[in-house]
Chain A
Amino acid sequence: MIAVENVYFTYPIGIEALKGVSLTIEDGEFIAIMGQNGAGKTTLIKHFNGLLKPTRGDILVDGVNTKKTSVAKLAQTVGFVFQNPDTQLFCETVEDEVAFALKNFGFKKATIEKRIVWALNLLGLTEYRKTSPFMLSGGERKRVALASVLAWNPKVVVLDEPTIGQDYQQKEKLRQFIIQLNTQGKTVVIVTHDVEFVADCNPRVILMSEGKIVGDDVGKKIFADFNLLTQASIVPPQITKVFMELRDFGFPPDVVDLYEAREILQRRLNKT
């Protein structure tokens, strides 16, 4: 469980990025943090593994205050996948890349070997085991970065902008993968601008604007609240927009899910 208690954060250059954020993330939850650029999303998630420490307020990860422990300790519970895989890849082979964190955390050699096989298999990278990560495509590099974090099996997985630069098919694969992780009991937190992606995943949505949380609800409620979305500069998913336009014809305005939309439309079509 991650408890964020009235957290304020000011960067050394004087920008106040978080202005009193409180939030509780239970074990096994799936959360999407959304909001415009500069809303404080990335600043907030960097607090979860102690990369940033609150200027005021506290963050408790499983009851441990992040101010009183190290990033290396917290990282074992909270795995953080950065937006750009190129900020972390440096090894000669994909295998070494995955082993890097495991060695840092002091896993035994036999365990490391097992975990490498498991993580590479999980993300379909087994054939690239001895390849240099720099020879891989952008999407594959992103998967290597993800594998290198999942390898130590953290309880919480935080993904910063996982869908950027991915084509639709890769996004769909990623979505299924994230949902699979979540159903296996992992807490998943994603930060994203991609409303369509979030609408498809249907997580709990936290909406941020100017360093504060302005909305916290299921996607269905958030995406149908037009005023809230305007405040956070977010455009609703296309399917929601269509249903909002069709409100005069007696359609419900809070449809985010494609399957739900299809059912409603089918029912209507069968009636006429």
Chain B
Amino acid sequence: MSMTRRGLMAATAAAPVLMCVADARAQGIAPRRGGTLTTILQPEPPVLQIGVNNQGPTLIAAGKIFQGLIKFSPKLEPMPELAESWSLSDDKLTYTFKLRQNVKFHDGRPMTAEDVIFSVTKFHPEVAPRARAIFSRIDKAEAPDAHTVALTLKAPFEPFLLMFDVTACAIVPKHLFDGQDFRTAPAVQRPIGTGPFKFAEWQRGNFIRLERFEDYWKPGQPYLDAIIYRIVPDSQSRRLALETGQVMMTAAGDIEPFDVPAMRARPNLEVWTDGWEYFSPLSWIETNHRVPALADVRVRQAISRAINRDFIAQRLWFGVGKPATNPIASTTRFHDANVKLPGFDPRAAAQLLDAAGLRANAQGVRTTIKHLVLPYGEIWTRLSEYLRQSLRQVGINLELESTDAGSWARRIGAWEYETSINFVYQFGDPTLGVERTYVSSNIQKVTFTNTGGYSNPRVDALFATAREAQTAEERRAAFSEVQKILVEEVPQIWLMEMAFPTIHDKKVQNPVQLGTGVHASYDDVFLTA
């Protein structure tokens, strides 16, 4: 890759709206209409209705069928999608969205303010926990006319707009859901959205086919006739499918990181690692503070210093993603680049363990900690094996336990673990995706809450300040302070700012344009001849 996307972004940062016409057209390639994009989806989603299911693969495929009011650039600037424009009242309470006039659902019915209000106030709050938490802050939802929506909040909420991406709040047709059980309505099996592609066929275990929606609101688009998602369960078979040209593109976790260098070396393929800025998954050693050794801040600091994050990023992930420096990923808003975890230093780690009173026995073991391996593929097993090696160097015996996805989720949710690996989406803003792991009000027996049980009143107060503050500046101050405290106390031991490789044949144009990458609608993706 001669020029990274990030470099290109810097060049065009002054004109965010122009970014969607970046790569291909900047290189002078005119969009070509026609052709079918073949790619892979893994694991197979249970249903394609966003909201009813919000797994990664569901969001990728259904992101072509549904759309949100706005979408986000890699720098998380909002850009128009179903809303042409939007404004915020001076009291920071009322968000007014002007909707596009000519948008139709795939069943031919027009999309209006009624559908938007239904999606925001009824559909998503009923089925999706994240939408429930945020949209409950809405006091009034009104439609002054058929193409205007005014949402008035009970109190100002600065990150509100981030909730209107298709992956968080897809606009669904009110007439197909109203008055029914949203999870079992027939439309869940035949999803109807406003997106550039409509659902055509799904042979379970085999493929999902989406077809061009002829009445799409952008004239002449989408360029592709169809997108076919093949379901290929084995990672080596996926790699072969890409290498032999049986599919044109892979995304997310399709290709294992250790296979990425070989893909980079192939002249017909291109590898992106950006397009995940909106999600910014951060991985960490999940620590349960109810385990006496792990409740001691010195032990957590020692573990953190005994790990070489550069090694993990370069030798395990082969440069896909980068070392974490603090609890907020560098691509998430309010990341403070000046707050950094102390570096790799096994001797300092040993001193910290000495100070914590953990002395080595005759075998050189200070303490034994159990570790639940994340059952999401071989790369995670390799990571846990590396951690065992590194911690053994400082006298901590990490005892690995294998499990499957069902047991893992149950045991994390029930606090039945000592350490594990977890990675969590940050959704662009610490209030949306970081706070939940550290505030004591969110200590729950449910996955992706503060399952570790960390509790610090000062941290609680700072997150609350940042949540309620009206301006970005006030929020930034609170988040900077919280990052300092968390880096000092390492309640979770952060490892990597993760990214996932999007690998595609060079004839595929524009596959990664937004901060949501392959989750975008793909109305501007085309194939060169």
Q: Do A and B bind each other?
A: no
Interface residues of B (CB under 8 A from A): none
- Using a CB–CB cutoff of 8 Å, the interface residues on chain A facing chain B are none
